[in-house]
Chain A
């Protein structure tokens, strides 16, 4: 008969091995996606799920999933330019204190300082250029890192103490 302690120990060891193999931390979902609009929808849906499982309210869920969507659009459209040879890497993690979403492309990169201010009067009637602004507006922190080649956006949404939940792999995978 298998004792409870033995079972737990075995399960923990199995998870450690699995994490070493996959390189994934517990509670983190990693996606490798094509440079297509379907991938944008997939990133948006994963962000919505992450936010819902963390107990965010409807507005916060909308904001986070939209920010993730805009990041994915940037990666597919401006970064990889729909190139089928290039991939979009996305990860979604509840650290317990924050929701962290990373979206990386394999494009030629860009200088965030060169982006025009979409709120400036001379730019209000531009048909594009609002994506990064919307992301900044909807998350607590945004980091833009050049990968040479590619760009990685890290979106961080802090969790209020009352909405902090225990991160779990099962809930995300």
Chain B
């Protein structure tokens, strides 16, 4: 399943509800454009809801890292919410778990910005 992205805003935090796969050719470009668009508009608090992302490949992992660094360069912040077990395991395996601020609870995630 390709990636779908829905955007909403809660207390000044833009939440992107992601659903599907983040892979080369299927979702990584969409995610990149969505993040770039938000940063370009001056958004500083971005939360990626990964609760329905059931698959991510090395390209998708790279895209998450790029989103993190692009945001940081613009004094913005990207955090991750609700990782599925497969994505969680991949982030641990690649040590990216140490890079991202990852939350399980949406309210706590919003309050953490």
Contact = CB atoms under 8 A, between A and B. Distances in A.
A147 interface: no
Interface residues on A, range: 20 to 34
B93 A137 contact: yes
Contacts of B61: 130
A119 interface: yes
Contacts of A130: 58, 61-62, 94
A73 interface: yes
Interface in A61-105: 62, 66, 69-70, 73, 77
B8 interface: no
A125 B58 contact: no
A153 to B, nearest CB: 14
B17 to A, nearest CB: 23
Given A37-B25, A69-B57, A73-B24, A119 B95 contact: yes
A23 interface: no
Contact of A62 (B24, B59, B86, B99): B86
Given A37-B24, A125-B68, A127-B65, A73 B58 contact: yes
B5 interface: no
B24 A127 contact: no
A126 B62 contact: yes
B77 interface: no
A128 B96 contact: no
Interface string A116-145: 001100001111101101100100000000
B93 to A, nearest CB: 6
Given A124-B65, A127-B69, A133-B58, 19 more contacts: A37-B25, A66-B57, A69-B23, A69-B57, A70-B58, A73-B24, A119-B95, A124-B95, A124-B99, A125-B69, A126-B62, A126-B65, A127-B66, A130-B94, A131-B58, A134-B57, A134-B58, A134-B94, A137-B93
